[in-house]
Amino acid sequence: MTEVRDYLEMSFQSIQCFSSDGKLDAYELGKILAIAEKDGVIDQNEIRVLRNIISRIKPHEVDDAMRKKLIEISDKIK
């Protein structure tokens, strides 16, 4: 069985999002989460990448939509 490498796609997507305007919005974070979920399981590599991406979000960038997305992700990766 081959290893799923969605976490690499997630990393690449986050680089593109951050490089476009220096920040990430809820829609972009949702697209990254969708990559992790497409096989039905969020594995440890995907969780690691999600946590790394989230750690780069600055507090002043968190609006209501982002807060909801962060809560959704937190509930999924506990």
Confidence bin at 1 (pLDDT 50/70/90): very low
Task: Name 71's Cβ contacts closer than 8 Å, sequence gap at least 6.
Answer: none
Q: Which pLDDT tens digit goes with each residue over 18-71?
A: 998 989 999 999 999 999 999 999 999 999 999 999 999 999 999 999 999 999
Query: How many helical (H) and strand (E) elements, i.e. helices and strands, does the chain have?
Result: 4, 0
| Cβ atoms of residues 52 and 73 within 8 Å | no
